[in-house]
Chain A
Amino acid sequence: MIPSAALRQIAAYGIVPSTISNHGQPCCTGTLAWMRGVDASNSYRDGHWHPPTWLRKQYEWGPVAWPLHWCSVPDMKKLDCGGLAAVAVELYRLRGQAAVPVQLALRYPEHAAEQWSRMWERHGLNPSWITGEFCYHEVCGVVEGEELLLWDPTESRWLDPPVFPNEAFASVMALNVVVPSSDHRTIRWRGIPIPCGVWQSLVFDAEGRLTTACT
């Protein structure tokens, strides 16, 4: 289980999920229209929509100076996890699917976290998204009825809950499904009930079953 102090620090870093701003002008509306077309070209195959794996072919992962506006996205070479997640959420919504930002606390070995810290510092940015072996991360939550699927556009993969109560690489330790404050529903992620709108730690009970605990 993630120590509460570490989770508090991560939650404090990610008070709100990354949001790409909109000028409300043709520059940004045109970009969103273009992105919808690019997404269809790359992700609509064989009569179905597929996850937007093209994002990581288009954008490298790395430090980005915020704020971002939509009209700057086409020319970006890199996006961080927040940028990628914000784009993915928007793409799913443009497809007509319900999607929400999801904030995560992931556990990594400290040597990996240390490398990312240096990477951010070299770009003059504060690596405050890293707290020891715990990292703040953002993904796209795809909502199908009461079910939540987590698409990680940074890794181009669907995220599954941890299987063993030990220290798996990139294991999800806590998450916050970001919904409007008036929405108090509970959603199921691969069978695990997740109350929305508040950080939840993932814990294994005495019988080895995965559940959540509000922090």
Chain B
Amino acid sequence: MAQPTTDLRVYISGVHSDADPSPGIGIARSLRDAFPGALLAAIDCSVQSSGLHHPVFDRVLLQPPWSEMDLATYASQIRQHLDQPNTCYISGLDVEVSWLARIVGEHSRLLIPNHAAQQAVGKPALSCAPSIGMRTPEFLPALAHPTDLHALGRRSGWRLWVKGKYHEAYAARGYGDLQRQINALQAHWPLEDIFVQEHVLGLERSVVFAAYEGRLLQAVEVEKRQVTPRGKTWAAAVTPAPSEVRGRIAALCAELRWTGGGEMEFVRDDADEDWLIDFNPRFPAYIYGVTLCGHNLPACLVARALGVEFAPRPGAARQFIRVVQELPVRRELPLPRMVMTGDRFASAGKHPSFQPALVRRIGKSSHHASPIPGGPSLAVPEFLANYQSPPSTPLRFRDYSAAEDSMRRLARALESCSAQPAIIPALSVKTDPEAELARAFLARGWWAEVISVRELDWARRQGFEASQIVFNGPALVELPSSVGRPVAVAFADSVEAFEALLESQASEVMGLRLRSNAVTSRFGVDLTDARAFNRVAHCLRQHDGRLRFGIHMHFASDVCGPLRWNDLVEHTLVWADSLARASGAAFSVFDIGGGWHPDGFLDQLIPNLPTLQSRIARALPSVSTILLEPGKAVAADTAWLVTRVIEVRPGDVHGASEVVVDASIADLPMAGLYAHRVLHLRNGRCLGWLTGGSKRVLGSICMETDILAQGVEFPQAPEVGDELLFSSAGGYNASMAWHFASGVSRDS
């Protein structure tokens, strides 16, 4: 028999409401709709928790901040509440939900999922995903090796999220960004609770549900219609969950004996595949919006737990939207004045529900947010067998074995491609003008790519014929006066340079570099400007039949990612075809540029060369030559930088420590953009590779950016005099190294 609801009490924690609100107010408003006579008590940790002032609450239980609370006493107080008849407790705070499940344990009126259930849906593994027919995005713990994090960034096109296990997520669009966001999150959360996740493209949705002791009560699908700048739901459409989805959630709830609210956040991609990105063990903050649409999930849960009934109201709408509302502050909870902290005002006191404090109270996680990938251990390089410590450091030395292997694999891949259009690699000279690389290219009949007359002279001295040279870049204007014979291909960087090139005919093929708005670049011609398009089409039309034309795209795939790099190919193919249609001219050379990371070159470009070749041939049948311009792909791994530890600094309160070495970003100028594998040697003996961790390797010059490695751990405690050998010290790390703090001026 249903009981009257007038003596019903519900304690609700987590009631703060700002741009990133907790669900407490929404839960309370839903319960008020269903049980007008119920006593609703708000719990939070600061007068600044805005929901404490909301009139929906009959009582306020203001707690001390987590950092000042006696947790055992607080747990017993919660048990006392629960021991009262017709009383239940709903938490809206993720960390508290976790703590309550462990400390208070299962109780029929503590309306949260049990500890095991929370483990099954915990980020980032989200191990329940397959059972609800979803996939999870690729992720790594923040403690993973920096080179692995860098590889994840490259694969994702630097669309990453740095996330806390419980809360907070920040976008990272580059390697420097990634390190900054990890450091920022570390201010709140232990490093073990931070992970890095690939962004999934698509529309965000949620399934919100309530279950009691393993039985699903209700489930709805929520499709976002507006989000805040931080990605929080601001408006959404609500529909009953499709029966198939409901069936899967019901099975999961039964398996996990779920009690309480839950929210599965997922992204549906273009292929209609669902990617689970979060599984909250509580109701979402917008839960009252769901109630307004006729699905009062908090009331269903409380009614079931207390054996009471309520009259469900029909939905007033199928969509909801949120507003900002002003409330009178309760007289008994006045807000303190703001105080200056640093260069800006901040509210006095603690964040209202500052859960990181509870995380630090209950100790670091017994296990990491996600296991650090093991995989086969990295072999030490062969040169170490005969390695002798150099008398002075820093020192760069060359080892061409990796580059030779890359070139062999490229040559084999070219053999597997069709004969037409011919694919010709052209060594990017600027990346690292090393004679050894030039010899290797010449031996295979490959070409060179230059960006200045001085580089052109260098290439000729190495033995490249003019007919084997591609001239690129904004300095094309220097070309006509400098060569006796035309180079094979030249690509103009502007319409003006293209017109001048057609005039001078300094190359056998006259090319144009395109700029795509898929990436931000200062180079090339933007053909979305109709005037530029018409000028180029006019030039082509005028010289059609007398000259040969080329088209060029160039953007580092390790910056934009393979997906967007393929977009660039598509854009360039469409533009070339559009120019051909508008002018009647045809392109004979298609240059895909360079910019591959050595790993991406081997894993992504080389295996896909036959596909790329046929794609270009299909879209532009007139193309007879495809050029590619490997630079760092072959040159980056040709050198190592030997440095010595000159100072070891003790760890801070978080255990992080750092060493200073005698090299600097003047020796390794790309250190801020790329992660390096680093070997640790002592007295000429290899101690092993540095792994992922929380330590830093600092350079020796007085520049804030002089950090050679961060997020690393040493195989043994470092000592002054130890050697650190940085891999991938060739390519731009060699060609762009400069004199600094050495008493030498570049111009002297």
Binding site for B on A (CB under 8 A): 26, 29-31, 33-34, 36-38, 40-42, 44-48, 74-75, 163
Q: Does B686 belong to the interface (CB within 8 Å)?
A: no
**Does A46 contact B582, Cβ atoms closer than 8 Å?**
no
Q: Which B residues lie within 8 Å of A34 (CB)?
A: 527, 530, 533-534, 578, 582
Q: Does B20 have its Cβ within 8 Å of any Cβ on chain A?
A: no
Q: Which of B201, B533, B577, B578 contacts A46 (CB 8 A)?
A: B201
- The distance from the CB of B563 to the nearest CB of chain A, in whole angstroms, is 5
Q: Digit string of B510-523 for contact with A (CB within 8 Å is 1, else 0)?
A: 00000011100000
Distance from A169 Cβ to chain B, minimum over Cβ atoms (Å): 13
Once the chains bind, are B528 and A38 in contact (CB under 8 Å)? yes
Render B524-537 as a binary contact track against A, CB cut-off 8 A, 1 for contact: 00011010011001
The interface on chain B, measured as residues whose beta carbon lies within 8 A of the other chain's beta carbons, has a size of 25
B582 touches A30 (CB 8 A): yes
**How far is B521's CA from A26's CA once the two chains are assembled, in angstroms?**
31
Interface centre among B201, B517, B533 (most CB of A within 10 A): B533
Of A31, A33, A36, chain B has the most CB atoms within 10 Å of the CB of A33
B579 within 8 A of A: yes
Are A40 and B575 CB-contacts (below 8 A) given A46-B564, A47-B563?
yes
B581 / chain A contacts, CB cutoff of 8 Å: 29-30, 33
Q: Tell me which residues across on chain B come within 8 A of A163, comparing CB atoms.
A: 318
Grouping DSSP codes into helix (H, G, I), strand (E, B) and loop, the B interface class, with mixed when no group exceeds half, is helix
Chain B residues whose CB sits within 8 angstroms of the CB of A48 once the complex forms: 270
Some 29 contacts from A to B, beta carbons below 8 A apart, are A29-B581, A30-B533, A30-B581, A33-B581, A34-B527, A34-B533, A34-B534, A34-B578, A36-B574, A36-B577, A37-B574, A40-B570, A40-B571, A40-B574, A41-B517, A41-B527, A41-B574, A41-B575, A42-B517, A42-B528, A44-B571, A45-B518, A45-B564, A46-B563, A46-B564, A46-B567, A47-B563, A48-B270, A163-B318
Q: Is B716 an interface residue (CB 8 A)?
A: no
Q: Is the CB of A37 within 8 A of B527?
A: yes
Residues of B within 8 A of A29 (CB): 581-582
A-B Cβ contacts below 8 A, count:
66
Contact partners of B570 in chain A: CB under 8 A? 40, 44
Say if the beta carbon of B566 comes within 8 Å of chain A: yes
State the CA gap A36–B567 with chains docked (Å). Answer: 15
Q: Spell out B's residues near A (CB within 8 Å).
A: 201, 270, 318, 516-518, 527-528, 530, 533-534, 537, 563-564, 566-567, 570-571, 574-575, 577-579, 581-582
CB pair A36 B201 closer than 8 Å: no
Partner of B571, one of A41, A74, A75: A41
Q: Which residues of chain A have C-beta atoms less than 8 A from B566's C-beta?
A: 47
The answer to whether B516 and A41 touch across the interface, beta carbons within 8 angstroms, is yes
Please, how many angstroms separate the alpha-carbon atoms of A26 and B518 in the complex? 28
Report yes or no: A33 in contact with B571, Cβ–Cβ below 8 A.
no
Q: Which 10 A-B pairs have the closest CB atoms?
A: A40-B574, A30-B582, A74-B530, A33-B578, A37-B578, A33-B581, A33-B582, A37-B575, A34-B533, A38-B528
- A37 touching B528 in the complex, CB below 8 Å, given contacts A44-B570, A45-B518, A48-B270: yes
Write the nearest CB–CB distance from B124 to chain A, whole angstroms. 23
Question: How far is A142 from B721 in the complex, measured between Cα atoms in Å?
Answer: 69
- A36 to B570 CA separation, bound complex (whole angstroms): 12
Q: Which of A26, A40, A41 lies at the interface centre, i.e. has the most chain B CB atoms within 10 A of its CB? A: A41
Are A26 and B318 in contact, CB atoms less than 8 angstroms apart? no
- Determine whether the beta carbon of B567 is less than 8 Å from that of A33: no
B537: chain A residues within 8 A (beta carbon): 30, 33
Please, which residue of chain B has its CB at the minimum distance from the CB of A38? Answer: B528
